[in-house]
Amino acid sequence: MKKLSLPLDFEPYETAKFDISEAEIRKVLGEPHYIETRHMMVADGIETRWAYELDGEPFVLVCKVSYEYAVICTKCPPPLTVLEKVRVLFPNSEINTHEVPIKRKV
State pLDDT tens for residues 79-98. 888 999 999 999 999 999 99
Q: First CA to last CA across the chain, in angstroms?
A: 20
Statement: residue 12 has pLDDT above 80: yes
What pLDDT digit, counting tens, does each position of 19-49 carry?
999 999 999 999 999 998 766 566 677 899 9
CB 23 within 8 A of CB 102: no
- What the chain holds in terms of domains, given with CATH numbers, is 2-103 (3.30.70)
Look up the pTM and report it.
Answer: 0.90
Torsions phi, psi for 84 (to 5 deg)? -65, -40
| CA–CA gap between residue 72 and residue 57 (Å, rounded) | 13
Q: To 5 degrees, how large is the angle CA 100–CA 25–CA 84?
A: 45
31 alpha carbon, distance to own chain's centre: 14
How much is the average pLDDT of 3-16? 90
